[in-house]
Every structure is written in structure tokens, then in C-alpha cells.
Amino acid sequence: MAEQFVFGWHAVEAVLKREPERLLQVWIQTGRQDKRVKSTTELLDTLGVSWEIVHRKLLDSRVGGVHQGIVASVSESREWSEDDLLALLANSEKPPFLLILDGVTDPHNLGACMRTADAVGVQAVIVPKDKSATLTPVARKVACGAAETVPFVRVTNLARLLRTLQEQGVWLVGTAGEATVTLHQTDLTGPLALVMGAEGKGMRRLTREHCDQLINIPMVGDVESLNVSVASGVCLYEALRQRSAKG
């Protein structure tokens, strides 16, 4: 059984709340005796999950990030496939609302995008299997639990999936600095997949060609572009604003 580490209180608590069967072992830093530790250990005892109070050095050796005094060993989560995604959309009563990340390789950016996706109600985050960040422990920590709530779909052929989504009536909106239509001039209320490219390079050519519409984020300062997680947040919240107003 494949094993991975999850660290940080939000990330561990998300697994504990939503997928407790994945928990194998939990380590908590010595010196903490607050209510959060007490409630967590009591729940772990109820579930029969082994836990241990350890020195910080052991936690530091387990993971390469700010662990906040808690690390969990978990079984690897099931990876969503293209078929899983299409089944999810077919069974949903809400119009599709998706985030597609093309070429985003930084796990910090991926985690931040996952966190925002959860906040606005995105139904799934989609990435290509090649040249893309995956849900590493760092990405899960930055996501603050969203990696356990938002389906993460890795596809072998992103262009094929984009065509399939279009056939399902999903409108593909990509961001590009040279686009002449702005985010605020665009209708984002229907079945929607927002396509974001990596900072600097942007979307790959084939991905760009499959988009139904290209838009830009208005920029009035001196910087030429936004970090992809910030840009995703701006676009997703504009979509949420429009969709909430319509609803």
C-alpha cells in the first residue's frame, strides 16, 4: 500500500474528518497540550489510529515544510480519472464549474489554487499528467485541507478532455495577456471551465487553441503578470460573484 505524509493541522484534520480510513499513524510535537491536541487525539483513539508524542526533530526529518507540530502517515488517495470527472458532472445538479491548470509545476501554487477552488465551489481541478505539479505533502499543506475536498484530476491528454468538455456544453475560458476582452466583460455564469497557464509561459499552444474564449485580467500597475494562484483567485471569485448574482 502506497504511503505519503500529510502535515499541518488543517491538512491532517481534513483527512481525519473526511477520509479517516486513510490514516496510518500520527505524530504530534511534544509540548502541546491545548484543546486542539486533546480533541484530535481523542478522535484518533476512537478510530483506533496510532499516535505518538515526539520531539520536533523527528517531525522535521519526516517532511520538508512547516509542519505546525503535526505529521500524519496516510495511504495514498485515489486519483480521479477522466471518466470519474465526467460521471461527477453528469450526476451534479449544478452547472459545471471547473479549474484547469496547464503547466503549473510549483506545488505551492497548486496548493493555493486548490484552496481557492474549494472556497468558491469549484467541482474539480484538472491538470495534465506531464509537466505539472502533483499533490505532494507541500501542496496539501498549502491547500489547508482542500486537497481532501476538491477532486484532483490528472489526464493523459488534456486537449482530448477539453474537446470532450466542449461536447458536454462546457464553455472554455482561458486567460492570456494579449486578449482584448477583459475578465469583467465576460459572462462566467454558465457551464464553465477556467483555463490557467503557468506564469510567464502561459498556456501551451494546443490548450490555447481549444479555448472558446480568451480573456485578460485588467492590470493598471507596472507588473506584467500575476502569480498563477493569484490570477486564478481573481478569476474564480469574479465567476463566483456572477454566478451568485444570477442564482
Q: Annotated binding site for S-adenosyl-L-methionine, which residues? A: 197, 217, 226
Please give the Cα distance from 36 to 115 (Å, whole number): 22
Q: Which three cell numbers stand for residue 190?
A: 454558465
The number of CA neighbours under 13 Å toward the Cβ of 194 is 34
Dihedral sign, CA of 126, 159, 93, 186? Answer: positive
Q: Are 94 and 123 in contact (CB under 8 A)?
A: yes
Binding residues: 197, 217, 226
The C-alpha cell 504511503 sits at: 3
Q: Who contacts 62 (Cβ-Cβ below 8 Å, separation ≥6)?
A: 5, 7, 27, 71
Q: What angle do CA 188, 190, 196 make, to 5 degrees?
A: 50
